[in-house]
Structure 1
Amino acid sequence: MTVSKTVEKSAEVTKSRKDAGDNPAEALHLGELSEQLGYVLKRAQLKVFENFLRCVASLQLTPAQFSVLLLVEQNPGRNQTEIASTLGILRPNFVAMLDNLESRDLCARIRSTNDRRSHILVLTDKGKAVLTRAKKLVATKHEARLNEVLGAANREALIAMLSKIANEF
């Protein structure tokens, strides 16, 4: 079959679907893709991130920025390399993220007294306030929605399973 005949055949199928009132996007079958754990995890991650962004839209924080602020709060005196490594963020991406957070006066880099090549991360007063509001929004909206969808037992089981993959895979 030539390309033009293939295009004609595709157009006929599309037209017949429209004539039948079907949405062509609904007609797609994922086949074995729907059984692939990586694909399903990625789709779930996208939905979770979309919800997170909606819940904290007023604060203009990404999930990664929220994670950085949380780690800085929970680990005072730690340097930016340790924070980036823990979160699995590449150095160039982390530096750009810190630049953004610093320009918004949410955190600051302070030269380490132990190693002048290293920078300690600290939250500013504004950063502490934004993080407090973000934690409340995440708990009351984002995590609450996940708990609603999963239920407490499934949530705990999912965290355990995903942690096992993250730690052992």
Structure 2
Amino acid sequence: MKAMPRPSRRNSAPQVEPGAGGPDGLDRGMLPGLVGYALRRAQVAVFQDFAREMAETKIPVTPGEFGILVLVSRNVGLSQTALARAIGVDRSTLVPILDRLEHHGLIKRRPSPVDRRTHALELGPTGTALLPVYESAVRRHERRIQRRLAGGEGSTLITALDLLLDGALQP
């Protein structure tokens, strides 16, 4: 079977007329009508704002790391396996995140008193000190996001996202 010739990279950029489509002139075709595309674009914007807010803290964390700190603070002794399940990642993805948090003293891993094969998680001294700082930063970040939404749209959006999540988990 003969391989298809590769297009030249020099001229492979799409040719778009200025002013066509979005504010940047790109024609996005069907993309603006796709829920997943809109979710991803919104997620990028929200995460960028989150990062700007966290940049002001002593040890900046990502949205995922913040979520882990909240879960660990509210569920002292939580196992890594239970945490991975709760946030929807596999353990091999979670371990390097926990390594970073532990390196900065944000969490501590100790042998589980129930199962020696697992670790129990708790906030470290730095995590205990910084969690209130992070929570204040997240509240400011959330207020900025919510300002873009009218009335109860924030609650409606969360409900709609929960419905999507529930549907995504069903076979």
Are the equivalent residues in 1 in contact too, given 2:107–2:123 (CA < 8 A)?
A: yes
In the TM superposition, 1:13-28 aligns within 5 A as: 26-28=24-26
CA displacement at 1:88 relative to structure 2:
1.1
Higher CA-based Rg: 1
Residue 73 (structure 1) aligns with: 73
TM-score by length of 2: 0.82
Task: For residues 2-54 of structure 1, give each alpha carbon's deviation from its aligned partner in whole angstroms, at most 9, with x where no partner exists.
Answer: x89xx5xx8xx78x95xxx99xx822111211101111100001111111111
Q: Is 1:62 paired with 2:71?
A: no
CA distance in 2, matches of 1:137, 1:152: 22
Identity %: 35
CA displacement at 1:129 relative to structure 2:
1.4
CA displacement at 1:89 relative to structure 2:
2.1
Residue 37 (structure 1) aligns with: 35
Residue 143 (structure 1) aligns with: 142
- What amino acid is aligned across from residue 131 of structure 1 in structure 2? L
Task: For residues 59-94 of structure 1, give each alpha carbon's deviation from its aligned partner in whole angstroms, at most 9, with x where no partner exists.
Answer: 310111101000001112211111111111221221
Structure 2, gaps ≥5 residues long: 1-6
- The alignment's C-alpha RMSD in Å is 2.5
Q: Which protein has the bigger helix share?
A: 1
Structure 1, gaps ≥5 residues long: none
Residue 48 (structure 2) aligns with: 50
Are the equivalent residues in 1 in contact too, given 2:102–2:124 (CA < 8 A)?
A: no
Residue 4 (structure 2) aligns with: none
4+ residue segments displaced more than 2 Å: none
SS for the counterpart of 1:135 is helix
TM-score by length of 1: 0.83
